[in-house]
Structure 1
């Protein structure tokens, strides 16, 4: 199994409005399982939206870009 390369901030900025938890985890540098657990506990560093009645979530790309660029830390 080959692992995908971590995308750059410039690449993430070009993604669609939402991305999968797996893609967001790759960009952040953590496992999808860990990010999924943070989302379920309401502790995720990114904003998400639920899909229907399933447990599936989509990550809002703009929130991911803010996190990766350090904008969230500057506001704190």
Structure 2
């Protein structure tokens, strides 16, 4: 009989590194809400809440029942923030 040791799997905190502006420029024309939110340092739930309340800092489209964030508007918003800093 084969004995397999079971390892306890513990949740490791995920490193949330916001993508750089250069990385974002390489994204497709639209991205999902969690990806778009990550560009602004938002957790998934916060990003969806911002979409729901109309507070998301970039243009959001509803395509076939799903929300998509326009990458060009993310770049524009982050470029404006960078210029203001």
Question: TM-score, normalised to structure 1's length?
Answer: 0.79
Uncovered stretches (5+) of structure 2, i.e. residues with no partner: 1-11
* Bigger radius of gyration among the two: 2
For 1:35-58, what per-residue CA distance to the aligned partner results, in whole angstroms no more than 9, with x for missing partners?
Answer: 111111112111011121x2x200
Q: Which structure carries more relative contact order (alpha carbon 8 Å, separation 6+)? A: 1
Q: Distance in 2 between matches of 1:40 and 1:26?
A: 16
Tell me, which stretches of 5 or more residues in structure 1 are unaligned?
none
Higher helix fraction: Structure 1 or Structure 2?
1
Q: Give RMSD over aligned pairs.
A: 2.0
| Off by >6 Å, runs of 4+ in structure 1 | none
TM-score, length of structure 2 as denominator length: 0.71
Equivalent residue pairs, number: 71
